[in-house]
Structure 1
Amino acid sequence: MSRLAFPRPALAVTAPLPVSLAAIALLLTGCGTERPDAGRAGAGAAGASSAAQAEDAGKDGVRITSLTLPSASPSPSRGLSVSADDLDRGSDSGVSAAYEVTNRGGEALTYTIVFTFMSGDSGAMANQTVTVRDVGPGKTVRGTVRAGVLPPSAPRVTRAEVLEVTKVPAAEAPVEAGVCPASGIRVSADQGDAAMGLRVVGLHLDNCGTRAYTVEGYPLLELLDENREPVDGVEILDGSGEISTGAGPDEQPRRVTLAPGESATAGLVWRNTTESGAPVNIPYVKVRAKADADPVTVTPNLDLGTTGKLGVRPWKKAER
């Protein structure tokens, strides 16, 4: 049995200052707090931080404005204090990038951005994902992203770039973990799993409200392209048996009632096989838990290849 998609009317933190043991006494006499980082940037050079301009054209309204790296030699500043716990921590490279997000559209958007930190030979040292919520039309929001932990033997980071940007209407963006929308129902997608060309992404439905919530059958989907326009020509299948039996047996759709605090799961299953024709990539999927539910737009990045098919598993109550 198959069905087509239903129609749809429609932060800044400077890098910590690594310090030598000889400078501890001086630093402890100051006021305020700044956490140091062990090692140089990437490979771990101890010393004060320095900011270098690293402006680029960016992508989809997001760009890097500067890159902050620990300097090669120590240069402790007044007004800093360091604890022994900080010295033992050694959990951050001290590398960070300042960025700005400009919404050139006509509605408030929530952005999910993947930043990449690179070495001099353009090798990726770290990728970090940042969500910037509710950027109003014509507005610019600025922030800072940190590279985080880098191996001691890693090459020195010299550049940061915007690797990927997805943006959805703020009213349709999945809410943050721990936040309950006015509907009392939270919908999200996980990172998925891929093996031998088979892709599986889980959809999650949480009743975070105060009343029971009932769903039956399959989530309703609308597939959207990079401009968030509907995609035609992809068949949405009930169940995953036509895609693969390797993702486990199909379950029969049934009525599922969730008490407050309970959850349900469904799933998207596809293959990225590419044969004749142009491959289809779908960055956005608009999900409704049921026909009268508010839509939530998730970003599973469906690389459907030339298969033209997407399998959908029905809602089932999640095990606690």
Structure 2
Amino acid sequence: MRPTRCLLPALSALLLLSACGSERADTRADGVGGGGGSGSTPVTGVTRPAVDGVRITSVTVPTTRPSAGVTGSPGATGGGLVRAEGLPTGGPGDSGVSAAYEVTNSGTRTLTYTVRFDFTTSAGEVMGDQRVTVRSVGAGRTVRGTVRQGAPVPGASRVTTVRVGEVTKIPAAEAPAEAGVCPPSGVRLTADDGDAAMGLRVVGLVLENCGERDYVLDGYPQVSLLDEDHEPVEGVRVLKGSGGIATVAGFDDPPRPVTLKPGRRASAGLMWRNTTGSGTAVDVPYVRVRARSGAEPVMLTPHLDLGTTGRLGVGPWHAAAR
């Protein structure tokens, strides 16, 4: 699997419950607030600055493990606020640890954000993480929500800290369709988590025909590499096939037309090495992919750590097994 790469400075992302400048809510008789006796739920306000537009506003860590049926959901109040998607809702075994957050788009385009929240011990050891996708945040708008840890791993150390681990943001019009939703193009394009071995990296592209008509592919996906500002990355050759990077099954097969019936899938791949020699290592956070010439672009976030190799291989489309 590809290694997780945090693109944000850990120091600015760290949000400690006991952080300097944080404020603890007053204890109330119903057990909501800070401190308190058995069964109370300490809620700690957080005043650390936002990380790439994402700010944790408070963290809740129960002093006792909650009973079954604990629930949580994002808030959506006030002007310009919308509901975030994909939040865990609690349940049996839920740790009860949660963080309230805000996502503010200070840019000029509507963006879709994906945020990884890390749940850690006071020593910084990550006990779990949750990814939240917040779609279509308009320019100047703010989205508020809540993310929960969910069920902890048996025997895991106690979580006392929540931090923003990674933030990616892409133009909403190019965001991959969410699960269960078929975009107007009739095809859904996604990337898998990838695989890694001895410095070789491979990420799979998957195209699903979720529409009602056949969809014909014409060889290779069209790939553009983009930096953190969504500008083209210079100095990297995008090669058809393996380009001599490594011998991987399917990468150097001759391209053939692929006709996808509704409900069928095709796959292709990206391949590179993360070798670092002389020069400056290149990291590519975003990849714009068109399934075929003239297709609507989809921006993916495979985080390519290309090292100083300057090469990326792109395999042809193959019909996937049923």
Q: TM-score range by the shorter chain?
A: 0.7 to 0.9
Change in CA separation of 1:287 and 1:73 when aligned onto 2, cut-off 3 Å: closer
Shift of 1:257: 0.7
> Any unmatched runs of 5+ in structure 2?
1-37, 71-90
Shift of 1:49: 2.5
1:117 to 119, 122, 137: 119
Q: How many residues align?
A: 266
Quick one: distance in 2 between partners of 1:73 and 1:271? 45
Shift of 1:141: 0.2
Superposed CA deviations along residues 199-244 of structure 1, whole A, max 9, x for unmatched, are 1111111111111110111000110001110011100111125111
Aligned to 2:245: 243
1:68 aligns with 2:60: yes
Superposed CA deviations along residues 151-189 of structure 1, whole A, max 9, x for unmatched, are 343332221111111000001000111100111111111
Q: Is the 8 A contact 2:242 2:248 kept in 1?
A: no
Aligned to 2:152: 150
Shift of 1:94: 1.1
Aligned to 1:267: 269
> Any unmatched runs of 5+ in structure 1?
1-45, 83-88
Superposed structure 1 runs of 4+ greater than 3 Å apart: 246-249
Shift of 1:72: 4.3
Paired AA for residue 299 in structure 1: T
RMSD: 2.2
1:187 aligns with 2:189: yes
Aligned to 1:51: 43
TM-score (norm 1): 0.79
Shift of 1:107: 1.0
Q: Kindly report which structure 2 residues correspond to 1:1-320, keeping only aligned pairs within 5 A, or say none.
A: 47-72=39-64, 90-240=92-242, 242-246=244-248, 250-320=252-322
Paired AA for residue 245 in structure 1: T
Q: Is the 8 A contact 2:251 2:269 kept in 1?
A: no
- Mark the structure with the bigger radius of gyration: 1
More strand by share: 1
Shift of 1:70: 1.0
Q: Equivalent residue of 2:42, what SS?
A: strand
TM-score (norm 2): 0.78
Q: Equivalent residue of 1:70, what SS?
A: coil
Superposed CA deviations along residues 19-60 of structure 1, whole A, max 9, x for unmatched, are xxxxxxxxxxxxxxxxxxxxxxxxxxx834221113322311
Aligned to 1:4: none
